[in-house]
Chains A and B, each alone.
Chain A
């Protein structure tokens, strides 16, 4: 559905960054762009949405050409039907929650969708509040609802949950998944949070220094298929302690620390700061680096 094959030189402070992106995304997919800061994830979203113009290449969506450098086609952002959720939410401070949603209506559109979205996102009680008086999670829900007013087929989420605490993230992940399914969206998420990616996305595209270096289904990407597990959580190692003949590994999963027992052979492969998953096969939990 989406084919983005472009090149763009970004003039950064100091050195230029060469973006050379090639992405193909299928209709209805939930795709995550993954990679370090500065890898070009946000730029990829901006190129797709027309906020940034490629130097060369083509962007086609649903068989329509959005951008073609050779044919001098470049649809303005205004006509690219995308729901875009910005990292800082970009809610209009002078409008109430409801007015923020109503502003997004097109001239021909019926206002019923606003009421529907307010209810769906559980915002009805907050509809007359100004964004400044809302919590981070509430703002995020408004931003999501607003992005859906024009009923886009593609939803773009630029690190939408990075400013929220763990409990709020989990809650919003559920919202996003519900939206994705209910409105049959093609969703592109930018995220570094492995737990979040595993929970939400079908496919992961890893970027490094402006290029796609790996693309795979989420399970393959993080090697989750190797163990057939009864339960599985991803986390980060925060401590490794020797206790007599065994080792106790402290793993931060979400906001909880889990202690997992490991033997010397396992501990040799692990270091503090490693991303790991903790899984259980029948009775004994296993721990493996990902």
Chain B
């Protein structure tokens, strides 16, 4: 069995999760506390990947990243980045596609905290930055864990976006979900089954770990 698609899948999921964590914390913070008029629009945009078929996102990215488009040619000329049919393209696509899975839990976590926690820290002279990292985030650890895991698992399960902008290039863009599709097309069910089984087992274990941790079962067990 070729392990490359699986390794690529987990590499993509890991990179996406790290980038999204850095991106989602400021975004979720803004969404929880801002009273800006544009907020509903931003909230809608963040949630769009939940309802839009992945092929739609993939299609527009395909158009946008093509070297003949404004964005695509700018990226290529000025930064030398080619997003189409490349790993970096997959990362960008996955970040957009999994955005709500990271932002929503973090936003809900921040919203669930009493505003007086934040205000108490301000009254002690603590900056917004210190308050976020020393007071708010440590108190929403379960939400952060949920966001990280859902993003990771969701990226592992991605298919449509990847197929549209990444294609099917072994070692570069051929992730596990596409490899499975490939093997099935070739009537190679045994190989498809091994990939599927591994994905199933890995995602099951990750999710189980989250529920055990967030439900406090693990703590009780370890005592």
Chain B binds chain A: yes
Q: Are A82 and B114 in contact (CB under 8 A)?
A: no
Query: Counting CB contacts under 8 A, is A104 at the interface?
Result: yes
Give me the interface of B with A, judged by CB distance under 8 Å: 114, 116-117, 119-127, 134-135, 138-139
Q: Are A84 and B123 in contact (CB under 8 A)?
A: yes
Q: Are A93 and B139 in contact (CB under 8 A)?
A: yes
Nearest-CB residue, chain B, relative to A104? B124
Interface residues on A, range: 20 to 34
Bound-complex Cα distance A87 to B139 (A): 20
Bound-complex Cα distance A178 to B65 (A): 69
Which residues A244-264 have CB closer than 8 A to chain B?
Answer: none
Q: Are A90 and B139 in contact (CB under 8 A)?
A: no
Query: Counting CB contacts under 8 A, is A96 at the interface?
Result: no
Q: Which of B125, B126, B135 has the most CB of A within 10 A?
A: B125
Can you name 18 extra interface pairs (CB under 8 A) apart from A51-B122, A90-B114?
A51-B119, A51-B123, A77-B122, A78-B122, A78-B125, A78-B127, A80-B123, A84-B120, A87-B116, A88-B116, A90-B117, A90-B120, A92-B120, A92-B121, A92-B139, A103-B126, A103-B135, A146-B120
Which residues A69-83 have CB closer than 8 A to chain B?
Answer: 76-80, 82-83
Q: List 22 A-B contacts (CB under 8 A).
A: A49-B123, A50-B122, A51-B122, A51-B123, A76-B122, A77-B122, A78-B127, A79-B125, A82-B123, A84-B119, A84-B120, A84-B123, A88-B114, A90-B116, A90-B120, A92-B117, A92-B121, A94-B138, A94-B139, A103-B121, A106-B125, A150-B124
Q: Which 6 A-B pairs have the closest CB atoms?
A: A90-B120, A90-B116, A86-B116, A77-B122, A84-B123, A104-B124
Bound-complex Cα distance A130 to B126 (A): 21
Count: A-B pairs, CB below 8 Å: 52
Nearest-CB residue, chain B, relative to A81? B125
Bound-complex Cα distance A92 to B126 (A): 14
Nearest-CB residue, chain B, relative to A94? B138
Give me the interface of A with B, judged by CB distance under 8 Å: 49-51, 76-80, 82-84, 86-88, 90, 92-94, 103-104, 106, 146-147, 149-150
Main SS class of interface, A: loop
Nearest-CB residue, chain B, relative to A107? B125
Q: Which of A83, A86, A104 lies in contact with B119, CB distance below 8 A?
A: A86
Nearest-CB residue, chain B, relative to A158? B116
Bound-complex Cα distance A133 to B124 (A): 24
Residues of B within 8 A of A49 (CB): 123
Bound-complex Cα distance A84 to B124 (A): 9
Q: Which of A88, A90, A146 has the most CB of B within 10 A?
A: A90
CB distance from B139 to the nearest CB of A (A): 5
Q: Are B119 and A77 in contact (CB under 8 A)?
A: yes
Bound-complex Cα distance A77 to B124 (A): 9
Residues of B within 8 A of A149 (CB): 124
Bound-complex Cα distance A104 to B135 (A): 12
CB distance from B118 to the nearest CB of A (A): 9
Bound-complex Cα distance A103 to B123 (A): 12
CB distance from A59 to the nearest CB of B (A): 15
Bound-complex Cα distance A91 to B123 (A): 13
Q: Are A103 and B139 in contact (CB under 8 A)?
A: no
Residues of B within 8 A of A80 (CB): 123
Residues of A within 8 A of B114 (CB): 88, 90
